[in-house]
Amino acid sequence: MRPLDGLVVLDFTTLLPGPMASLLLAEAGAEVIKVERPGTGDEMRAYPPEKGGESALFALLNRGKDSLTVDLKSPEDRARLVPFLDRADVVIEQFRPGVMARLGLGYEDLSQTYPGLIYCSITGFGQTGPKAQVAGHDLNYIAQTGLLALSIGPPEAPVVPPALIADLAGGAYPAMMNILLALELRRQSGRGTHLDISMTDNMFPLAWWALGQRAATGVAPGNGDNLLTGGAARYRLYPASDGQILAAAPIEQRFWVNFCEAIGLDAGLRDDSRDPAATLRAVAAIIAGQPGAHWERVFDGVDCCCTLVASLDEALADAHFRARGIEDHRTELADGQTMTALPVPIVPAFRDAPAHPRSAPALGSLTGKSGGTGPAKDAS
């Protein structure tokens, strides 16, 4: 058995934060029913690239779920949700505050009939506050919370982060974590709850080190001027002579000593507290004097937290990650092909065996069926 076998999740979300949260629940055994717009469904269904007759991105995020098409603006269509709500343990929604309430599907409405329901709302700015109705995407959320300003690159060439930080670390992961906490609380009390997941609220813990500096000194770090954002020699990206990049992170003194010895840094510069800028310039010049392959050989076996930046292809071909089974699970596509499933942070013991590929749902795969296969939940 998987930990969440028997749990039923009714998922009204689209795109990334909610679908990732419900994917994590599905991978751990939950039955996830996507409620989608008739005709088009989740917007992610139309996102390129396509593989095997469907969006590869949609397939990655929705493996192992079912699909129910409902026109939420139609009272008759909304009535078809009742047998599914009768079975649901969890509802996840991602609309702006008030939308579900206007449809008669808000927490206050549903909790009267289903007092044990766990209702998770994922939004950019939360259910309350002056910005609650403001639209945004990941870049807006990390920009407005001060996170992006800590390491945005030079003003003439600002860098867009490679990961959707707010969607995942601020939305999907906190949603799953709080759903699991709410399930435990329901086990103790018998009551459900409304979870207000604000992606912007959840950006501030990611800046813990900057908040600590501000609290201690009264001054917040600037753009790239802190130890953890490239402002010091001990935590920085150094270009090699051939354009490869060395990711050097010898923060602790024992690593720093090994690093300085390996690159042959002048003894007078090894105490980087004396003239940090001079030490940084010297290290950068040394690294820039040789190609990446040279530094790979130099640091092989040296305990100093230094690695070359790998491409995604190189990372997936790495013997370590292959041994860890990063690509073992498969997703079945509409035409019968399979592709690598999204490597989710659920330990293997809690997931299906890799030998059982699962697919994303065809639009409306449950439409016309009466709530699925399991019994109704106790609505008393």
Q: What is the pLDDT of residue 379?
A: 47
Give the length of the chain.
380
Is residue 113's pLDDT more than 50? yes
What positions carry a catalytic annotation? 137, 167
Whether 149 maps to a domain, the answer reads yes
In this structure, are 101 and 65 located in the same domain?
A: yes
Q: Is residue 1 part of a domain?
A: no
Which helix (H) or strand (E) segment holds residue 195: the answer is: strand 193-198
Residue 331 three-state SS:
strand
DSSP helix/strand/coil, 276: helix
**CATH (domain of 345):** 3.40.50.10540
Enter the pTM of the model: 0.94
Crossing angle of helices 253-263 and 292-299, in 10° steps, is 130
**Is 95 in the same domain as 193?**
yes
**Residue 301 backbone class (left: φ over 0; alpha: ψ -120 to 50; beta: rest):** left
Q: Tell me, what CATH number does 277's domain have? A: 3.30.1540.10
Position 367 in a domain: no
Residue with tokens 């999740």: 9
Domain span including residue 273:
223-317
Please write the tens of the pLDDT for every residue from 285-328.
999 999 999 999 999 999 999 999 999 999 999 999 999 999 99
The per-residue pLDDT for range 324-346, each reduced to its tens digit, is 999 999 999 999 999 999 999 99
Tally of domains in the chain: 2
Residue 199 within any structural domain of the chain: yes
Q: Is 82's pLDDT higher than 70?
A: yes
Same domain, 306 and 333: no
Is 107 within 8 Å of 197 (Cβ atoms)? no
